[in-house]
Amino acid sequence: MPQRRLDAFSSSIGTKLLIAFSGLCLFAFLITHLAGNLLFILGPHAFNEYSHRLVSNPLIYFAEAGLLAVFLLHVVKTVWVIVSNQRARPARYAKHTWAKTKNPRSRKSWASASMIITGTLILLFVVTHLATFKFGHYYETPEGVRDLYRLQLEVFANPAYVGFYLVCMAVVFTHLWHGLSSAAQSFGIDHPTWTPRVLTAGRVLAVLIAGGFFILPIYTFLIARA
C-alpha cells in the first residue's frame, strides 16, 4: 500500500496535486507573513514585539522546517513537470494556445508560460530576503529584543533595494495570478458557475497580497524614515 501511494504521487496527476497543495500552503504563509509585516505601520513597539514573540516560540523551528520542506517540494515537483513536458514535446514543435485566442476555454497566458522564470526569480528573492533580514544586522532595543524595525528602516533607505523589492513583488504577483487558478484546476474545480468565481477570487487575492507587500517598502522609504 505505501508503495502504491508513492507511485500515485509520482504520477502526472499526483504531481500536479502536490504542486497545487504545496502552492496553497505557501499562499497561506504569504497571508500570515504579510499580516505580521503590516504591523510595521503601527510603529516599532508593535512590530518588534510581534517579531520577538514569533522567533522566541519554540515551535518556530518546526514551522520553518515544514515551510522549507513545502517550498522545496513545490520547486522540485514544478521543475519535474516542466522538464517532463519539454521532453515529451520539444520546444521546436510546441504550439502555444493562448487564452481567449484560438481556444476560448484555454487558460494559457503569459503568466502561466513564464511560471518557471517567475519561480526562479522568487527563489533568488527568498535567498536574498533571508540573508538581509533573518540573518542580517542584529540591533537590540533597550528592552533586550531584536530591533527589526530599525533594520527595516535601514534596508529600505536604499532606493536600489526598494526598487529590487518592488520588482520581485511584481514577479510574485505574476506567479500568484496563474498559480491560484492552476491550483483550482488541479483539484478538479470545474463548474460553469463557480469556476469563474474561484478564478476571480484567486486573482483578487493575488492583487491584495502583492499590493500589501508593495506598501511596505514604499511606506518605509517615504513616510517611516521622515
Residue 100 located in a structural domain: no
On whether residue 215 sits in a domain, the answer given is: yes
How far apart are the C-alpha atoms of 211 and 221, rounded to whole Å? 16
Number of domains in the chain: 1
Q: What pLDDT, on a 0 to 100 scale, did the predictor assign at position 59?
A: 93
Helix (H, G, I), strand (E, B) or coil at 48: helix
pLDDT at position 115 is 66
- Return the HEC string of the chain: CHHHHHHHHHCHHHHHHHHHHHHHHHHHHHHHHHHHHHHHHHCHHHHHHHHHHHHHCCCHHHHHHHHHHHHHHHHHHHHHHHHHHHHHCCHHHCCCCCECCCECCCCCCHHHHCHHHHHHHHHHHHHHHHHHHHCCCCCECCCCCECHHHHHHHHCCCHHHHHHHHHHHHHHHHHHHHHHHHHHHHCCCCCCCHHHHHHHHHHHHHHHHHHHHHHHHHHHHHHHCC
Task: Please answer whether residues 170 and 213 qualify as being in contact, where contact means their C-beta atoms are separated by less than 8 angstroms.
Answer: no
φ/ψ of 101, rounded to 5, equals -115, -100
Question: Is 145 among the domain residues?
Answer: yes
Distance CA(198)–CA(87), nearest Å, equals 32
Give 219: exposed, middle or buried? Use CB within 10 Å, 0-12, 13-18, 19+. middle
Region 170-175: mean pLDDT is: 87
Which pLDDT band, with edges at 50, 70 and 90, does 184 fall under? confident
Residue 185: which CATH number? 1.20.1300.10
State which residues form the domain around 117: 2-90+106-224
Task: Collapse the DSSP code of 20 into the 3-class scheme (helix H, G, I; strand E, B; otherwise coil) and give the result.
Answer: helix
Within-domain flag for 101: no
CA distance 215 to 91: 39
In a domain, 32, yes or no: yes
Identify the band that residue 93 occupies on the pLDDT scale cut at 50, 70 and 90.
Answer: very low
* pLDDT score, position 40: 95
pLDDT tens profile 35-58:
999 999 999 999 999 999 999 999
Confidence band for 66, pLDDT divided at 50, 70 and 90: very high
Whether residue 95 is contained in a domain is answered as no
Q: Three cell numbers at 201?
A: 477570487
Q: Is residue 181 part of a domain?
A: yes
CA distance 38 to 40: 5
Of 166, 165, 175, give the one whose Cα is nearest residue 202.
175
Highest mean pLDDT among 23-32, 92-101, 104-113, 170-179: 23-32
Q: In this structure, is residue 97 part of a structural domain? A: no
